[in-house]
Amino acid sequence: MDLLEESIVPEHARPVKQEARSFAEEHVEPNAEVCFREAEYPWDVLEAARDANLIAQDIPEEYGGRGLSLTEVLAIAEEFFRADAGIALTLQLASFGAELVMEYGSEEQKETYLRPVAEGDQLTGLAVSEPETGSDLAGMQTRAEFDDDGADGEGEWVLNGEKYWIGNGVEADWLTVYARTGDDETNRYGNHTCFVVPTDADGYHAEHIPEKMGMRASKQAHVVFDDCRIPADNVIGTEGAGFWMLAEFFNHGRIVVAGHGLGLAAAAIEEAWSFTHDREEFGRSISDFQSVQHGLADMRMDFESARALTWRAAAKVEAGERPGFWAAMAKTVATEAATNCAERGMQFHGGRSILSDRRIARVYRDVRIPVIYEGANEIQRNLVYRQSGE
C-alpha cells in the first residue's frame, strides 16, 4: 500500500520526494519510538538531514540553499510526517521564519542570517503566539519600542513581553519575532513589525515548555523579552507591515501543514490496515467484518479527498490564485482527515491502542496538534467562508 504515491505530485517535485522517503526510512522511522518515549531533541537525525540537504532548502541557491519550491517542500513534509511527526516537525522547524527574511529582508540580512541556516550552521524559529493570544495576529501584545539613545548613536529597538509555543526558542541562534510597534485603533492590521532577534541578545530568556502529549521530539519554548535590545536595522521589511507579511507567509505554511496531515493520515491507515488484516476475532480476520471494511474505506476516502485538495491548493498558492482561500481549505481538510483516520485506527486496535509504544497511539496524540498550529481550524473556516464569494 503506497498511499503517498507520486502520480499526483508535479514531476519536478518527485526527485526530492524520493530523497525524503529514503531518508525517512533510514533515519526517521527507526528513531521514532525512542524519540517519542524520551522526548529528546533529535540532534543526530537533524545533522543527518542537513548532510542530506533536506533542511532549510527552500532558501535560494545564492544564499546556500537549493531554492526548493512550495510543492517540493510539501512533498518532503508528507513523507517525513508519515514516518514520525515529532522528528518531522523538528526538521521542518529548523528554518521556520527564515522565509520572512528571504522574502522581505535586506541583502545584508539575507547574507548574514540565511546562509548559516541553509548551510546547517545555525537554527532559527518564528515567535508569534503568546500565552494569552494564539490565532489573533492583530492582538499580540509583545511590544517593541525604538530608543533613539541606543548603541552607536543609531538607536535600538527594545522588546518586552512573552511568546509561547516557540519552536527552537531554546535551541535557535536567532528568531523572527512579531511585535507590536503601534496602537492605531483605526488601522488594526498596521500595528506590528517583524524583527530578527539573536537569542544571545541581552534580555532574551527562554525555557522549554514541559512535557507535551504529542510530537514530543519537537521542542517548544516559553520566551520572555525583558528590555531585550536589538540593532535598529534588525527590522524585517517595513515597520508596521508585520501582519501582512505573516498573512502571506502562512498561506504557504498552511499548505505544508496540510502535508503534515496527509503524512499522519497515511500512517494511521497503514497501521489500521495491517492490524485488521493480521488479527483474528470470533475465528476470522477482523478485516472480514463489513463494519471494519467500511471503516477502512472511509479512512481511504477521507485521505484521498484531502490529498487531491492539498495538491490542487498547492498549485493555486504557487500561482498566486486566491492563496488564502486554498491554503485554509487544504490545511483544514487534511489535518481533520488525519484526526478522523487516527480515531478509527485507535478503535480498530481495541485495547492495544492505548499502549504507548504503539505507532497508532503516537499518531493519535500527534494529530491533535496540526489542527491548532498555523491558525486553528475554526479560523480557517472563517477565511474559507469570507473568501468563498470572491
pLDDT digit string (tens) for 121-172?
Answer: 999 999 999 998 878 888 999 999 999 876 666 789 999 999 999 999 999 9
Q: Do residues 271 and 96 make contact, with C-beta atoms less than 8 angstroms apart? A: no
Condensed to tens digits (0 to 9), the pLDDT of residues 7-40 reads 999 999 999 999 999 999 999 999 999 999 999 8
Q: Domain 124-240 sits in which CATH superfamily? A: Butyryl-CoA Dehydrogenase, subunit A, domain 2 (2.40.110.10)
CATH of 6-118, one of 1.25.40.80, 3.10.310.30, 1.10.540.10, 3.40.50.1980: 1.10.540.10
276 pLDDT band, cuts 50/70/90, is confident
* Cα–Cα distance measured from residue 237 to residue 195, given in angstroms and rounded to the nearest whole number: 9
Condensed to tens digits (0 to 9), the pLDDT of residues 172-220 reads 999 999 999 999 989 999 999 999 999 999 999 999 998 889 999 999 9
* Per-residue exposure over 97-119, b if at least 16 CB sit within 10 Å of its own CB, e if not: bbbbbbebbeeebbeebbbbbbe
Output the pLDDT for position 210: 86
* Cα–Cα distance measured from residue 98 to residue 113, given in angstroms and rounded to the nearest whole number: 8
SS3 content of the chain, % helix, strand, coil (to 5): 55, 15, 30
Condensed to tens digits (0 to 9), the pLDDT of residues 290-320 reads 888 999 999 999 999 999 999 999 999 999 9
Q: Residue 192 in 3-state DSSP? A: strand
For the chain, give every domain's residue range: 6-118, 124-240, 244-387
Output the pLDDT for position 102: 96
Output the pLDDT for position 125: 96
> Residue 276 burial by CB count (10 A; 0-12/13-18/19+): exposed, middle or buried?
buried
Check whether 390 has a pLDDT greater than 80: no
Output the pLDDT for position 149: 78
CATH topology of domain 244-387: Butyryl-CoA Dehydrogenase, subunit A; domain 3 (1.20.140)
Check whether 283 has a pLDDT greater than 70: no
The DSSP code for 25 is I
Condensed to tens digits (0 to 9), the pLDDT of residues 236-245 reads 999 999 999 9
Output the pLDDT for position 25: 98
In this structure, the number of other CB atoms found within 10 A of the CB of residue 136 comes to: 11
Output the pLDDT for position 20: 98
Q: Could you list the active site residues? A: 374
Task: Using CA atoms of 127, 128, 131, 136 in order, give the dihedral in degrees to the nearest 10.
Answer: 180
Output the pLDDT for position 353: 66
Output the pLDDT for position 234: 97
Condensed to tens digits (0 to 9), the pLDDT of residues 242-270 reads 999 999 999 999 999 999 999 999 999 99
- Beta strands (DSSP E) in 23-103 are none
Check whether 346 has a pLDDT greater than 70: yes
Check whether 281 has a pLDDT greater than 70: no
SS3 for 83-141 is HCHHHHHHHHHCCCCHHHHHHHCCHHHHHHHHHHHHCCCCCEEEECCECCECCCHHHCC
Output the pLDDT for position 44: 97
